[in-house]
Copies of this chain bind each other. A is one copy, B any other.
Amino acid sequence: MGTKQQLTERISTLLRDSKLSITDTRVKILELFMRSNGALEHSDFEKLAGKSFDRVTVYRTLQTFLEKGIIHKIPTTDTSVRYAVCKSECTEHHHHDHHVHFKCETCGHTTCLDETDVPNIQLPKGYAMHNVEVVVNGVCKSCK
């Protein structure tokens, strides 16, 4: 998985490529994303990581990452908003978010199933499709 230094380097490159300043907050939030291998919600950032972040900064950082195509949102049925890092195909103005999200009902964790394709859906006449979001609820590997 690489050393801590390699991770930091990878993050710096990502920020530079997105034309964003490299700041402590951005680096630490991206570290959390890269390490978690799943979806994070807002409250996770205030708890985790020893240092506690200012709420406003977290909101603005996530907003910025969204706009730059670094992260994407995952649909939920409650008021929480979940985010996960995008794969390489995502760019500033186009999210290629064609994978399936899995939410475990036992541990509550949401993961991106990158290998699982979103199947084709036949819409009724007159509807134009831009984007499909799929969330599967169930029990994950670790919880069985």
Contact = CB atoms under 8 A, between A and B. Distances in A.
Chain A contact-residue range equals 35 or more
Interface string A77-106: 111110000000000000000001010010
A132 interface: yes
A77 B134 CA distance: 12
A140 B123 CA distance: 10
24 contacts: A73-B77, A74-B77, A75-B75, A75-B76, A75-B77, A76-B77, A102-B123, A102-B127, A113-B123, A113-B127, A115-B124, A116-B124, A123-B138, A127-B136, A127-B138, A127-B139, A127-B141, A128-B139, A129-B136, A129-B138, A131-B136, A131-B138, A132-B134, A133-B136
A135 B137 contact: no
Contact of A133 (B77, B123, B124, B126): B77
A124 B134 contact: no
A78 B105 CA distance: 21
A138 to B, nearest CB: 4
A5 interface: no
A52 interface: no
